[in-house]
């Protein structure tokens, strides 16, 4: 898929206020600082479409972007950020789960995980929760520029083995780097394929 247009539409804290539209929607989710906003900028070839920061907890709202006037891409706040208060964490968690439960337009989620780390409990639990709520998802490894190819392969194999402890089959898996522009075509073509189904 070629990106012809990518526009910011709206940010908000309530799923009921998300755009009232029939367009298919894809959401990017994962731990704080994993690289969700950076990946969105890389995919859309817009350096500043989504806000990026070295400090975790940058994205705090549900952000809708309209791509090629055909589908919505959604940037979400990260989960599992230790430095926000417990109360704030609860509110965050609530609106993320609300979004996934209520958003009828959502076609599929992309769960981002840092390729440098072994499988984290919070990510596996989140995937489990998506499964229980019948929400399709893919796994997107981020920051592949940080590792040598042989280490990437080894980490992916270990991750797959871990997933197969609980899942009968593997979800689609993508390897990406926002700084080296790796994985753009693969993710976009996957979205195109699903949109065409
Ligand atoms: P929150 O909105 O806080 O949940 O974070 P996020 O998941 O949106 O992460 P963000 O895109 O803001 O990136 C976090 C940090 O990781 C920034 O310092 C980015 O520059 C860096 N980063 C993101 N993607 C990559 C990547 O592919 N390679 C490298 N080397 N750094 C990356
Ligand atoms: Mg972000």
- CATH number, domain of 156, equals 3.40.50.300
User: Total domain count for the chain?
Assistant: 1
Which residue segment(s) compose the domain that 42 sits in?
6-196
Tell how far the Cα of 168 is from the centroid of ligand 1, in angstroms: 31
Q: Please indicate, yes or no, if residue 1 is contained in any of the structural domains.
A: no
The lowest-confidence range among 19-23, 24-28, 43-47, 81-85 is 81-85
Residue of minimum CA distance from atom 10 in ligand 1: 35
Indicate whether 109 belongs to any domain: yes
Pairing relation of β-strands 137-142 and 173-175? Answer: parallel
pLDDT tens, position by position, 95-116: 788 999 999 999 999 999 999 9
* Residue 41 near residue 178, CB atoms below 8 Å: yes
Q: Give residue 180's Cα distance to chain centre.
A: 18
Q: Which residues surround ligand 2, an ion (CB under 5 A)?
A: 36-37, 58-59
Nearest CA owner, ligand 1 atom 17: 54
Helix 149-163 to helix 121-132 angle, to the nearest 10 degrees?
A: 50
End-to-end CA distance of the chain: 15
Atom 28 (ligand 1) nearest CA: 143
Ligand 1 neighbour 142 (Cβ under 6 A): yes
Any domain includes 29 = yes
Which ligand is closest in space to the CA of residue 79?
1
178 C-beta closer than 6 A to ligand 1: yes
Using CA positions, which residue lies closest to atom 14 of ligand 1?
Answer: 33
State whether ipTM is beyond 0.85.
yes
Does 151 reside within a domain?
Answer: yes
Instruction: Report the predicted TM-score, pTM, of the whole model to 2 decimal places.
Output: 0.95
- Going from the C-alpha of 152 to that of each of 95, 109, 144, 182, the distances in angstroms are 33, 23, 7, 13
Higher pLDDT, 83 or 32: 32
């Amino acid at each position: 898929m070629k990106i012809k247009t990518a526009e910011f539409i709206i940010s908000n804290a309530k799923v009921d206020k998300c755009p009232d539209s029939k367009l298919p929607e894809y959401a990017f989710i994962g731990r704080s600082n994993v690289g969700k906003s950076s990946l969105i900028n890389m995919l859309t070839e817009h350096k500043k479409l989504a806000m990026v920061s070295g400090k975790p907890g940058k994205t705090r709202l549900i952000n809708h972007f309209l791509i090629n006037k055909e589908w919505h891409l959604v940037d979400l706040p990260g989960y599992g950020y230790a430095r926000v208060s417990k109360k704030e964490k609860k509110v965050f968690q609530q609106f993320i789960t609300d979004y996934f439960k209520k958003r009828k337009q959502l076609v599929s989620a992309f769960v981002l995980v840092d390729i440098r780390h072994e499988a984290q409990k919070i990510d596996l639990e989140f995937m489990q929760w998506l499964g229980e709520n019948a929400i399709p998802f893919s796994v997107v490894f981020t920051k592949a520029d940080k590792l040598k190819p042989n280490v990437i392969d080894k980490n992916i194999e270990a991750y797959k083995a871990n997933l197969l402890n609980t899942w009968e089959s593997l979800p689609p898996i993508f390897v990406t780097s926002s700084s080296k522009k790796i994985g753009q075509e693969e993710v976009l073509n996957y979205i195109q394929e699903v949109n065409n189904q």
